[in-house]
C-alpha cells in the first residue's frame, strides 16, 4: 500500500501548492474507518482507496478529488456518516463522497426499466459534478486490475458490466487509455483463450520479423529530422482486445490483419501537425479511406488528432496519430483535462471540453420520454464513432457512424426532420436510408405537411432523431388512441357495473402515475395499458382472477346431455349476447341472438324454443362475425386495416370485396372473436382509423340458420 507521504509526493509533482495536511487527515481518517476490513485478496481494504487516489494523480486532479478517492467507501462501508465527513473535510468533499456512494449502489448491469432508471441517475450525478464519475472510473479500473481474487461468477458479472457500461463511458469522455485498459481487462476475464491466442501470435510475429516498433520509430524520426521538424515519436503494439475486435468486425485472420502497430507523433504546433503529415505521406504510401482529420473537425469530447494509415517497413500497415502536446493531454485525460493542475494552478488547455457543457449536450434532449428511451439514446450517444458532413452553406454537422439524411435533417432542426421528403448527397438525389460518409455535402428536401413515418425509426441512428420521430408519431396517433380508449373504458366499466366518469378516469390516472385522464385514455387505446389495469386501480375488489379459456364445445349452458348446438349463420351470436335456441330434428339446436329477426318465424312453435345462456369465463377467439367496411382506395390502406384487426388479437378468416370505386372500396371481413366486447374493441379501432369511411357489423338474414 502506498504511504501517505508517497501519495503527497505524487500530487506535488503537478501541484506544488497542494494542501498536504488535508490529504494526511483524509488518509488517516480512511485508514481508521477501514481498520479490520480486508479485500478478497487478503490485503487491508484501505489499500484500494489509496490505489484509486494514485490513479487519479496520473490525471493531475485537484485535492478535493484525491481526498474523495481516499474516502469514497467510508460512508457506504464503515460507521462514517455524511455529516461527519462534511464537518471534517467540508461540504464540497462530502457531496463528492456521497455522489460516489450513490453511484456504487446503482445496479447498472440490471435489466430493462431498472437499468434505464439507474442510467438516468448516473447522468444526473455526473451533471452535478463530473469528478464523481472520474473517481468511480478509477475505482472500477483498480477493481478490474485486482479482479482475480473475486469469485468466478462475480468476475464475469463485473467484466460484463465494465465492457458494456464503464469502458464505453470512459471512451465517450475522451479517456481512451482507460477505455482500452478496461476493455482488455474485461476481455481477459470473459474470453481468456482468445486473448492468450492473440498474445501467442504476437510473440510468433516478433520472432519471425523482429521487434519492428523501434525500427519504424527510428525511420519516422529520421524523416522528421531531415525536414527540420521537432517532435516526439512513440510506438506501441495495440492491445489484444483492440486486435480481437478488428478481427471480429472485419472477419479477418490475424495473419491478414493490418495496422496492429500504432505510432504517435507529438509536435510543438498545429502547423507542424500538417507538415508531419506531408512528410509521412511522401515517405510511405497512404492507405485509401484511412485518413481522418480530427483537428479541423474535433470530436464532441474534445479529441483532436490527425489519423492516417500507411504501408510502412516491409509493407506492414501502421496507424499514425499526429497531434500537439495540448491535444495529446486532452486525448489522454479527456474531460478530466478540465480539472487537471500544473504547477499548483488549474491547467489552461484550449482544447479541453467544459464538462458541464458536455453533459448538457448529452442529456438535454432526453428530459422528455420514458426511461427505456433515455437508456437507448444514451447508449447510442456513448457507443458511436462520428462522421462529419457539410451543409450547402459549408457548415459542419457531426453525426454518429451509420447516420442517414434523416439523422442529418433532425440534427439541423426538428421541423426540418419532420418535413423531410428527400435528400441530395453531393448534388445527387439519394434514398433516405443512405448511410452518410465523411466529407459529404447533404441537402435536405422538405415539403409542408409531410410527417415522420414509423419506418424511419428503423433507419435513423441518433437519439435525437428517434426521440423526435416517436414524439411526432405519438401526437399524430393520440386523437385516434384517445377515441379508442374512451370506448374501451366505457365497456370495461359497464362490465363491472360501474359508470365511467371524468372523475373516475382522473382518479385512475393518478393511481397509475399518469399525468391526466387524457393520457390514460391514449395509453388504453394504444394498448400500453389494459382496461383491467384501469379497473383494478379503482376497484381492485371487482377484478376477477383469470380463468381457464372456455372451449367452444362447452360454451353454451342449458342444453340436454344429448343435444349438440351450432351458431346461426344469419345473426352469428357471440358470447356476451342474449341467446335463444331453436331445435331442429336430427340437427340439434341452432342458437340465435335474442334480437335476431329470424326468430319471428318460430313464434307459433314455442315447443322448439330453448332458453340458453353462454358459459361465464374467457372464451376462445373462435366465433366468426362479419364486418362491412368502406375504406379509401389508396396504396397500403387494406394492409393497415388487416394489421389493425390483428393488433386487436382478432384473426381474419375470410375477406371479399362487394364494391370497387375509384376512390373507395366496400368489403366484407369475417373475423374470429372471443365475445361481443371483443367485437366492440375491433369496431372502435376501425372507426378511429382515418382511412375507414364506415364500419358496421353485418348480419345476412337471407342465409339459412
8 Å CB contact between 442 and 424: yes
Rounded Cα distance, 201 and 180, in Å: 20
546-552: which pairs have CB atoms within 8 A and are 24 or more residues apart? 546/618, 547/617, 547/618, 548/617, 548/618, 549/617, 549/618, 549/619, 549/620, 550/575, 550/615, 550/617, 550/618, 550/619, 550/620, 551/620, 552/619, 552/620, 552/622, 552/623
The pLDDT of residue 532:
82
Rounded Cα distance, 180 and 174, in Å: 11
8 Å CB contact between 309 and 319: yes
52 lies in the same domain as 37: yes
Q: Is 482 helix (H, G, I), strand (E, B) or coil?
A: helix
Nearest to 694 by CA among 662, 656, 668, 655: 668
**Domain end among 346, 367, 382:** 346
Rounded Cα distance, 382 and 647, in Å: 35
User: Does a structural domain hold residue 658?
Assistant: yes
201 lies in the same domain as 307: yes
Nearest to 241 by CA among 178, 182, 201: 182
Which of the residues in the chain have pLDDT under 50?
110-113, 365-366, 368-369
300 lies in the same domain as 324: yes
119, 124, 134, 358, 407 from 363: Cα distances, Å? 11, 9, 18, 9, 18
The C-alpha angle with vertex 553 and arms to 550 and 555, in degrees rounded to 5, equals: 45
503 lies in the same domain as 596: no
8 Å CB contact between 387 and 407: no
8 Å CB contact between 263 and 233: yes
144 lies in the same domain as 12: yes
139 lies in the same domain as 235: no
534 lies in the same domain as 564: no
180 lies in the same domain as 70: yes
Question: How many CA atoms lie less than 13 Å away from 505 in the CB half-sphere?
Answer: 24
The pLDDT of residue 112:
47
Q: Is the pTM of this model over 0.85?
A: no
**Domain end among 346, 381, 413:** 346
8 Å CB contact between 313 and 215: yes
Q: Is 629 helix (H, G, I), strand (E, B) or coil?
A: strand
User: Does a structural domain hold residue 692?
Assistant: yes
Rounded Cα distance, 383 and 435, in Å: 17
Rounded Cα distance, 49 and 47, in Å: 6
Q: CB-based burial of residue 410 (10 Å sphere; 0-12 exposed, 13-18 middle, 19+ buried)?
A: buried
Rounded Cα distance, 617 and 116, in Å: 38
111 lies in the same domain as 219: no
Beta bridge partners of 342: 345
Name the grid cell of 516.
391526466
User: Does a structural domain hold residue 458?
Assistant: no
Rounded Cα distance, 177 and 232, in Å: 19
291-299: which pairs have CB atoms within 8 A and are 24 or more residues apart? 292/438, 295/270, 295/323, 295/327, 297/388, 297/396, 297/398, 298/351, 299/174, 299/386, 299/398
8 Å CB contact between 409 and 416: yes
Question: What is the distance, to the nearest Å, from the Cα of residue 675 to the centroid of all Cα atoms in its chain?
Answer: 39
pLDDT, tens digit, 9 for 90 and up, residues 565-580: 889 989 999 998 889 9
Instruction: Enumerate the active-site residues.
Output: 76-77
- Close Cβ partners of 82 (under 8 Å, ≥ 6 residues apart): 75, 94, 97, 98
Q: How many domains does the chain have?
A: 5
The 10 Å Cβ neighbour count of residue 674 is: 21
The 10 Å Cβ neighbour count of residue 230 is: 11
In this structure, what CATH number is given to the domain that contains residue 220? 3.30.460.10
8 Å CB contact between 459 and 468: no
Rounded Cα distance, 652 and 629, in Å: 13
User: Does a structural domain hold residue 422?
Assistant: no
328 lies in the same domain as 208: yes
In this structure, what CATH number is given to the domain that contains residue 638? 3.30.70.260
Name the grid cell of 673.
372473436
pLDDT, tens digit, 9 for 90 and up, residues 153-202: 889 988 988 887 788 888 877 788 888 899 999 999 988 888 888 888 87
Rounded Cα distance, 596 and 701, in Å: 8
Three-class secondary structure assignment of 597-617: HHHHHHCCCHHHEEEEEECCC
User: Does a structural domain hold residue 395?
Assistant: no
**Domain end among 619, 647, 680:** 619
User: Does a structural domain hold residue 423?
Assistant: no
The pLDDT of residue 591:
93
User: Does a structural domain hold residue 445?
Assistant: no
173 lies in the same domain as 215: no
Beta bridge partners of 665: 631, 660
In this structure, what CATH number is given to the domain that contains residue 94? 1.10.3210.10
Domain range enclosing 655: 623-698
User: Does a structural domain hold residue 15?
Assistant: yes
The pLDDT of residue 170:
83
270 lies in the same domain as 301: yes
- Close Cβ partners of 286 (under 8 Å, ≥ 6 residues apart): 308, 309, 310
Amino acid at each position: 500500500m502506498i504511504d501517505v507521504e508517497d501519495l503527497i509526493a505524487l500530487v506535488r509533482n503537478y501541484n506544488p501548492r497542494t494542501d498536504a495536511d488535508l490529504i494526511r487527515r483524509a488518509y488517516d481518517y480512511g485508514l481508521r474507518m477501514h481498520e479490520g476490513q480486508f479485500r478478497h485478496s487478503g490485503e487491508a481494504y484501505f489499500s484500494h482507496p489509496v490505489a484509486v487516489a494514485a490513479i487519479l494523480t496520473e490525471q493531475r486532479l485537484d485535492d478535493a478529488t484525491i481526498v474523495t478517492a481516499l474516502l469514497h467507501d467510508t460512508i457506504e462501508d464503515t460507521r462514517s456518516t455524511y455529516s461527519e465527513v462534511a464537518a471534517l473535510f467540508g461540504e464540497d468533499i462530502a457531496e463528492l463522497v456521497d455522489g460516489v456512494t450513490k453511484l456504487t449502489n446503482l445496479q447498472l448491469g440490471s435489466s430493462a426499466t431498472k437499468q434505464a432508471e439507474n442510467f438516468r441517475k448516473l447522468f444526473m450525478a455526473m451533471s452535478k459534478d463530473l469528478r464523481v464519475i472520474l473517481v468511480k472510473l478509477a475505482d472500477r479500473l483498480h477493481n478490474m486490475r485486482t479482479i482475480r481474487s473475486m469469485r468466478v461468477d462475480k468476475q464475469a458479472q463485473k467484466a460484463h458490466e465494465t465492457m458494456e457500461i464503464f469502458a464505453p463511458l470512459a471512451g465517450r469522455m475522451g479517456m481512451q487509455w482507460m477505455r482500452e485498459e478496461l476493455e482488455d481487462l474485461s476481455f481477459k476475464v470473459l474470453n481468456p483463450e482468445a486473448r492468450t491466442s492473440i498474445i501467442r501470435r504476437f510473440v510468433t510475429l516478433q520472432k519471425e520479423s523482429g521487434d519492428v516498433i523501434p525500427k519504424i520509430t527510428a525511420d519516422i524520426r529520421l524523416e522528421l529530422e531531415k525536414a527540420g521538424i521537432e517532435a516526439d515519436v512513440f510506438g506501441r503494439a495495440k492491445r489484444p482486445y483492440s486486435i480481437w475486435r478488428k478481427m471480429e468486425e472485419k472477419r479477418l485472420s490475424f495473419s491478414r490483419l493490418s495496422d496492429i502497430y500504432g505510432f504517435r507523433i507529438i509536435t510543438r504546433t498545429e502547423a507542424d501537425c500538417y507538415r508531419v503529415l506531408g512528410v509521412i505521406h511522401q515517405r510511405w504510401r497512404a492507405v485509401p479511406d484511412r485518413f481522418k482529420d480530427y483537428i479541423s473537425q474535433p470530436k464532441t469530447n474534445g479529441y483532436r488528432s490527425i489519423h492516417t494509415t500507411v504501408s510502412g517497413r516491409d509493407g506492414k500497415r501502421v496507424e499514425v496519430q499526429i497531434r500537439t502536446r495540448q491535444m495529446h493531454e486532452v486525448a489522454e485525460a479527456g474531460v478530466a483535462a478540465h480539472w487537471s493542475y500544473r504547477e499548483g494552478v488549474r491547467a489552461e488547455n484550449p482544447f479541453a471540453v467544459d464538462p458541464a457543457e458536455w453533459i448538457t449536450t448529452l442529456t438535454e434532449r432526453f428530459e422528455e420520454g420514458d426511461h427505456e428511451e433515455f437508456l437507448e439514446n444514451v447508449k447510442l450517444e456513448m457507443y458511436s464513432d462520428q462522421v462529419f458532413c457539410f451543409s450547402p452553406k459549408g457548415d459542419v454537422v457531426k453525426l454518429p457512424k451509420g447516420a442517414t439524411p434523416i439523422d442529418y435533417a433532425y440534427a439541423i432542426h426538428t421541423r426540418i426532420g419532420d418535413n423531410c421528403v428527400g435528400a441530395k448527397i453531393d448534388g445527387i438525389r439519394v434514398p433516405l436510408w443512405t448511410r452518410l460518409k465523411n466529407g459529404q455535402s447533404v441537402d435536405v428536401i422538405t415539403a409542408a405537411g409531410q410527417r415522420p413515418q414509423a419506418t424511419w425509426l428503423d433507419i435513423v441512428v441518433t437519439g435525437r432523431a428517434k426521440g423526435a420521430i416517436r414524439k411526432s408519431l405519438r401526437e399524430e396517433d393520440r386523437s385516434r388512441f384517445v377515441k379508442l380508449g374512451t370506448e374501451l373504458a366505457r365497456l370495461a366499466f359497464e362490465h363491472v357495473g360501474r359508470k365511467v366518469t371524468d372523475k373516475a378516469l382522473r382518479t385512475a390516472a393518478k393511481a397509475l402515475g399518469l399525468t391526466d385522464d387524457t393520457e390514460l385514455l391514449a395509453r388504453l387505446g394504444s394498448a400500453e395499458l389494459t382496461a383491467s389495469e384501469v379497473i383494478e386501480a379503482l376497484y381492485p375488489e371487482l377484478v376477477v382472477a383469470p380463468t381457464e379459456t372456455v372451449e367452444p364445445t362447452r360454451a353454451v349452458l342449458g342444453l340436454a346431455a344429448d343435444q349438440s348446438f351450432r351458431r346461426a349463420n344469419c345473426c352469428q351470436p357471440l358470447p356476451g349476447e342474449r341467446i335463444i335456441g331453436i331445435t331442429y330434428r336430427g340437427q340439434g339446436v341452432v342458437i340465435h341472438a335474442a334480437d335476431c329477426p329470424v326468430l319471428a318465424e318460430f313464434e307459433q312453435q314455442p315447443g322448439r324454443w330453448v332458453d340458453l345462456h353462454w358459459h361465464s369465463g374467457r372464451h376462445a377467439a373462435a366465433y366468426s362475425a362479419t364486418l362491412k367496411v368502406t375504406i379509401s382506395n389508396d396504396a397500403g390502406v387494406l394492409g393497415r386495416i388487416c394489421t389493425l384487426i390483428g393488433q386487436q388479437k382478432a384473426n381474419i378468416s375470410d375477406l371479399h370485396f362487394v364494391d370497387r370505386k375509384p376512390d373507395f372500396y366496400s368489403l366484407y371481413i369475417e373475423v374470429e372473436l372471443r365475445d361481443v366486447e371483443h367485437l366492440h374493441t375491433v369496431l372502435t379501432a376501425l372507426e378511429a382509423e382515418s382511412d375507414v369511411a364506415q364500419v358496421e357489423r353485418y348480419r345476412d338474414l337471407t342465409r339459412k340458420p
